A and B are shown apart, each in its own frame.
Chain A
Amino acid sequence: MKLTYRTLVSTLAVAAFLVVWELAPRTGVVDVTFTSQPSRVIAAGLTIVTAGGFLNDVSVSLTEFAIGFGLAIAIGVPLGLVLGRFPVLRHLLDPPIMAIYATPHLALLPIIVVWLGIGMQSKIAVAFVGGVIPILVNTTAGVREVERSWVVAARSFCAGKWDVFVKVILPAALPSVILGIRLGLGRAVLGVVVGEMYQSQAGLGNKVMRYGSEFRTDYLLVYVLLISMFGLVATTAVRTLEEKLWTAGK
């Protein structure tokens, strides 16, 4: 990595933050219960990872996310393509879809718990709802915004409707679809985590709430950081995919 001024300042900022975080409780400026320290968090992290039950929580959360978000893609993309293709349907469904988009999807948590209980199903459902709307909206937009001139060009070579769809519209809409997936990803992760925090029997979010109520800040932060890291890694992965597609599509 090039040592530019930018990386230098950014790294120094992070380092400075870590140093302050470690030293502040030692000097008594803040109570360690409120903020914990990097050293404690690392120690707690080691304890958690080596103890039993940790992998169970991770797998619960990951499963909820995978199924929920997977469903969101599996339903959102085809539905988005259909809506993009048929303006009549789109005009009809647009208002309720936009209304759901404008709503904080987590507000649906209580009603989903009423419907599906506190097991994994409710988290999957929230992840689905959170992820499907951006995917749907962006896929539809992607289909609609395909350059008319490309479609006309394909038609001039006697391409039938199906060919036009598969060879022109789908590839052209792909960047928007990926964008929708990236936007939906954050919402889906949020859905799983908050769902677990709200009502659950297991999972990373569940642990977050538990340790929070026990004032075990160091343990709490380990889980919080774990969740954050997952979100970051997943988002970065999709972003890289997005960039590769953008440059390929030029």
Chain B
Amino acid sequence: MDGWKMKPVFLGIASFAIILLAWEAAVRLGWVNPFFVSQPSAVAATLSRTARSGELGHNLAVSFREFVIGYGLSVVVGILAGALASRFRTVEYALDPLLWFLYSAPLIAFYPIFVLWFGLGVPTVIALAFLLSFPQITTSTLNGFQNVSPGLIRAARSFGAGEMDLLWKVVLPASVPTVIAGLRLGIGRALMGVVVGELFGSTAGLGYSISYYGGLLKTTDLIASLVVIIILGVLCTQSLSALEARFDSWRVDD
């Protein structure tokens, strides 16, 4: 019984609408204490207020800049490292323990060390965002380069492809879907790095603002910033998912 074949977008909007309505109703009916959860109407009002006052814009800009630099760095370094590791086995084997460690260990625990090196504030946040997302991108790039369908490589060889030809005409295009998947996963982790880095010791940014208002127990302001973070996270992930889908046809069906 699949009568729910509506477009996912409509379903998503409907779902959120129901949640918002239930939330607002629960508070107004006195079922829940607004101190703990605030209400959609209050949050919306706060959002428009902070948007107009420029506070929202400022926090957004700070966080966004940190994210772009940290994530951007990890994309460049990650793809380079992954490419080198796929070409030179020695590089791969030497990087292996490092990546394994960075991947499995709770890296945010290194936050105080970063504070030691870079001081409180923006550079530490960038460092955290970089460190959290770079292993993911490196691993995905390495995988993408290494796991090119052997059938394609054999076919290219049969037509006389040499090393450079193989790299440019087969390996690079074939690895695109996997690399993009890695980029998508890396975004979530970089965002986490930015938010948590700001949580602990910043003077501006979205993470800072939720920590600040949390400390003052001003739930509405806290939730307002939290909502912005959630929307950002969803937007980033969705857009990269869309990009991934665009290149999905480049995958070889095995």
User: Interface of A with B (CB < 8 Å)?
Assistant: 5-6, 8-10, 12-14, 33-34, 87-88, 91-96, 98-100, 102-111, 113-115, 186, 189-190, 193-194, 197-198, 205, 208-209, 211-213, 215, 217, 220-221, 223-224, 227-228, 231-232, 235-236
Residues of A within 8 A of B196 (CB): 104, 106-107, 194
CB <8 Å contact, B233 and A104: yes
User: Interface of B with A (CB < 8 Å)?
Assistant: 2, 4, 8, 11-12, 15-16, 18-19, 36, 89-90, 93-98, 101, 104-106, 108-113, 115-117, 188, 191-192, 195-196, 199-200, 207, 210-211, 213-215, 217, 219, 222-223, 226, 229-230, 233-234, 236-238
Complex Cα gap A100–B112 (Å): 27
Residue of B nearest to A90 (CB): B4
CB <8 Å contact, A99 and B112: no
Complex Cα gap A224–B200 (Å): 17
The answer to whether A99 and B116 touch (CB under 8 A), given A10-B97, A13-B93, A111-B223, is no
Complex Cα gap A12–B95 (Å): 11
Residues of B within 8 A of A105 (CB): 192
| Cβ 8 A contact of A94, one of B15, B95, B211 | B15
Contacts A107-B230, A114-B214 supplied; 15 other A-B pairs, CB < 8 Å: A8-B93, A9-B94, A13-B93, A13-B95, A91-B4, A93-B15, A102-B230, A102-B233, A106-B108, A110-B199, A111-B219, A189-B106, A220-B113, A227-B106, A228-B109
Residues of A within 8 A of B210 (CB): 107, 110-111
| Among all A-B residue pairs, the 5 with the closest Cβ atoms | A212-B112, A110-B214, A228-B105, A104-B192, A9-B93
